[in-house]
């Protein structure tokens, strides 16, 4: 039998069997939250780059970069 666990105030914490604990929604929310966070990071970084250096990120340069990338593949 496992040792009983206690919370920071000294109260015993009831044991939970990991096989019966619901994890589907929790896993989905965690993945959605992580994806949303990194998506916002990307949007913010891109928006700051366009705002502060508009000449370096012009549409023509982006098209030329994409064509160079496709040509190298």
pLDDT at 55 over 70: no
User: What is the pLDDT, as a whole number, of residue 59?
Assistant: 73
pLDDT in tens, 8-49: 888 888 877 666 656 677 888 999 999 999 999 999 988 887
Residue 57: how many CB atoms within 10 A of its CB? 14
> 13-43 burial, b if ≥16 CB within 10 A, otherwise e?
eeeeeeeeeeeeeeeeeeeeeeeeeeeeeee
| Extents of the domains making up the chain | 44-73
């Amino acid at each position: 039998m496992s040792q009983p666990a206690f919370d920071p105030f000294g109260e015993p914490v009831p044991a939970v069997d990991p096989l019966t604990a619901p994890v589907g929604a929790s896993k989905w929310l965690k993945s959605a939250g992580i994806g949303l966070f990194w998506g916002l990071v990307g949007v913010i970084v891109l928006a700051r780059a366009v705002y502060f250096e508009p000449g370096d990120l012009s549409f023509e340069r982006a098209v030329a970069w994409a064509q160079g990338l496709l040509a190298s593949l």
